[in-house]
Structure 1
Amino acid sequence: MNNKIILHIEGFAILALSLYFYGYSQLSWVLFLILLLVPDISMLGYLYNNKVGAMLYNLFHTYSLSIGVVICGLILSNQTILAVGLIWSAHIGMDRMIGYGLKYPTEFKDNHFNRV
């Protein structure tokens, strides 16, 4: 099995786990649908240039921040923060599942999936 397929499977697993825990926590599915694509606002950085665009995109599409938000939601027992973290993680997993990876500063389509 090649590395690219493993990355797609990893994305699917994160998406599935995020959806499972979101449903298990009985959080709002309306909120889920409203916020699912919000991390893609980070692509606006590409209006400035490719380097800024890649930096912002990668910042908002890395698991460490979204998982940090989930952990904060759990520690603080705050359902809204937990929901945001799970939605954010689901978004990243969804992107990875369909092949959108972390960006290189050369151009928008140049991502880590292309170089695996």
Structure 2
Amino acid sequence: MSLPRWMDASLRIEWGCVALALVAAFWAIGGSWLLFAALVLAPDLFMLGYLARPRMGAIAYNLVHILIGPFVLGCVALITDSAIAKQITLIWAFHIAVDRALGYGLKLPTSFQDTHLGRIGRG
């Protein structure tokens, strides 16, 4: 089941705004843009789990494409006042926000194209 067009557009705009806010926060803390460039696509490396089988790929991919990870790391970053942890938190959350803004959802165990937001490439 796919979302109504207005709802899909609304969610994409919302996540795009989140992504922009995360970039602004990264800039505000004086984050390293070299680090940003090096890590922004790192969560996608977990799609290599699909080489084993779709179920394993979905589990691996989803583990790093939910906001729980950046939330926990962000808490650690605030408690320890770690500049690097703060930067990684914002980069990681930015990656997730951009994925959602582009319509990429969490993967279902059936196929890489099947997500909680519908099938990738549905039109």
Classify the TM-score, shorter chain: over 0.9
Q: TM-score, normalised by structure 2?
A: 0.87
Q: In the TM superposition, what is the alpha-carbon distance from 1:110 to its structure 2 partner?
A: 0.4
Q: Deviations over 1:22-66 (max 9, x none)?
A: 000001011001100000011000000000100111110001111
Q: Tell me, yes or no, if the aligned pair for 1:10 and 1:93 is still in contact at 8 Å.
A: no
Name the residue aligned to 2:22.
Answer: 18
Structure with higher strand content: 2
Cα RMSD (Å): 1.4
Name the residue aligned to 1:91.
Answer: 95
Report percent identity of matched pairs: 37
Q: In the TM superposition, what is the alpha-carbon distance from 1:70 to its structure 2 partner?
A: 1.6
Which of residues 68, 71, 87 is equivalent to 1:67?
71
Per mean C-alpha deviation after superposition, the further-off stretch among 92-101 and 2-11 is: 2-11
Q: Does 1:105 align with 2:106?
A: no
Structure with higher helix content: 1
- Rounded Cα–Cα distance in structure 2 between residues aligned with 1:71 and 1:17: 18
Which ranges in structure 1 are unaligned for 5 or more consecutive residues? Answer: none
Which ranges in structure 2 are unaligned for 5 or more consecutive residues? Answer: none
Which of residues 29, 37, 41 is equivalent to 1:37?
41
Please identify the structure whose Cα radius of gyration is greater.
2
Q: TM-score, normalised by structure 1?
A: 0.92
